[in-house]
Amino acid sequence: MLLEERASQGLCFESRRDNTLLSAPRVSTGDWVKVGALGERFWCLVNTVHADGVLTASVANDLVLCPWKAGDEVTFREENILEVASLSDRSRFVQMVLVSGSRVGAAQRWHHWRQSKGVGVAPRPRTQYIVGDGIIL
């Protein structure tokens, strides 16, 4: 099956066109990207970037609404990427965890920090931040 067909089958991924982000982010193998499907937004580790704009990535954690678990591979298009986390962004999150002592609290502050810098998408109403076993409403 062609990657293009895999990317268009199954669940409908959220598109950047539905958000305020208009330009395509630069993405490379090994980057962390945020995508959304079935009303759930989640981070994935990019495994492969193909010349035709199709990506394969591993889901970072178990999901609530989508049928995937941590480590499952998903296929989507570049237009489905909502955010890209740079190495310095990820380091900022680790620092926030160390200072606060809470991965959940740090995730919420990190999201607000990324949004204030213009690199994070706005949360939807009633957003829940899920980090490990912790949930913030």
Question: Taking the domains of the chain in order of start, what are their residue ranges?
Answer: 1-85, 86-137
Closest C-alpha among 84, 94, 87, 73 to residue 118: 84
- Residue-wise pLDDT for 4-59, tens only, equals 444 444 568 988 765 554 466 788 899 999 999 988 889 999 999 999 989 999 99
Whole-number Å distance between alpha carbons of 121 and 95: 21
| Structure confidence at residue 38 (pLDDT) | 87
The pair phi, psi for residue 87, each rounded to 5°, is -60, -40
| Structure confidence at residue 137 (pLDDT) | 35
50 exposure class (CB count in 10 Å sphere: 0-12, 13-18, 19+): middle
- Residue-wise pLDDT for 77-136, tens only, equals 998 999 898 778 888 888 998 999 888 888 888 888 888 887 788 777 776 666 665 444
| Structure confidence at residue 133 (pLDDT) | 52
